[in-house]
Every structure is written in C-alpha cells, then in structure tokens.
A = this chain, B = another copy of it.
Amino acid sequence: MNTSRSPELDDVDWKILAELQADARLSFNELSRRIHLSAPAVAERVRRLEESGVIAGYAARVAPAKAGQPMMAFIQLRCKLSRCLLKTAAADDFPEITEVHKLSGEHCTMLKVRAASLVHLEGLIEQLGEHGEMRTHIVLSTPYEDRPLTPVTADRDVSGADGWTGTGR
C-alpha cells in the first residue's frame, strides 16, 4: 500500500477534515457550502482522503457515561519478561479495555479501561493484576477527549521543529 508519502494535505483538505471530524454525517451539499467549493469537487476530495487512508472511517461517538460506563482508568502493566499479557488476543476477552498501547519505559503496556462502577473496576483490576505488576490511575474527570486532529505546521512553532514535518522516512 501507500503507507509512505501521503499526498500532502492542503488547507482545503484540513477544512474538510475539521468539518467531518465534527460531524461525519454532513451531506456533500452542506459540506460544499461550508468549504466554499462545489459539491462534486468536495466529493472528489473526500473520496481521495478515504482512499488514501487519511479518513479511516466514520464512527458514532458513544458517551460512555450515558451508556452505563461512567468509570475510566489508565492501567500500566509491567510484564514478566517473556509473556506480556495481551501478548496477542488476550485483550479481546475484556470488552472493558478500550485501548492498548505498547510503551517504551519500564511499564511496557498502557491500557485504557471503562467500567460500570467502582466495584466493577475493582474486579477488573484484580483480574488484570494476575499478569504482572501494575500501576492504576483512576480518572476523575476528562476536560478534553476526542480532540480533532489538526494540522501541525505553520504559525505556532515548537522549538526544535525546523523543517521536520515529514515524519521521518
């Protein structure tokens, strides 16, 4: 596939992405109105963004609290050398695990989990704890989540980023 060398998103692409990240169900008509472009032109750009994989899909955002799972926690696992829990598919057995990340550092795995209650969370932690040392951080509140992805270039300059927008490779 063309994993490398994305076709360089321009300003219009980013405007489209911003709109679609805020509301994936916009019609091409409405979208074209906001972007100030013709409908077919917008449709063609969206098609290209989908095909190149920049737009990976469209998902309904479900509010966990409203769906009976108000509790959230981050769990870092420090695994025995060889077997790392979740080595492969162990995460499939736990619907409560919403994210799995492999980390650098001594705690090799970062989980984000959801639970219906403190009791539920307690049971979950107990089960996961069997696989190795762990560190748990219960989330009290979430000021920001699902922040849309925005372009990283241009006006705001991060010290050290002198032309390195090309991701490496």
A-to-B contact residues, CB < 8 Å: 3, 6, 9, 17, 20-25, 52-70, 72, 74, 76, 86, 91, 93, 95-105, 107, 110, 114-120, 122-124, 126-127, 137-152, 156, 158-162, 164-168
Are A120 and B164 neighbours in the complex by a CB distance under 8 Å? yes
Q: Report B-chain residues with C-beta under 8 Å of the C-beta of A127.
A: 158-159
Please pick, from B123, B141, B150, B167, the residue contacting A161 in the complex, using a CB distance under 8 A.
B123
Copy total for this chain: 2
Note all chain B residues with C-beta closer than 8 A to A25.
24-25, 58
Other than the given A68-B152, A101-B140, 19 more pairs (CB < 8 A) read: A22-B57, A24-B24, A53-B66, A65-B167, A67-B149, A69-B167, A74-B103, A91-B144, A93-B156, A95-B147, A95-B152, A99-B145, A101-B141, A101-B142, A102-B143, A103-B140, A105-B138, A116-B165, A120-B160
Residues of B within 8 A of A126 (CB): 159-160
Contact A137 B55 (CB under 8 A): no
CB-contact partner of A58 in B24, B104, B165, under 8 A: B24
In Å, the complex CA distance between A118 and B147 comes to 21
B99 touches A64 (CB 8 A): no
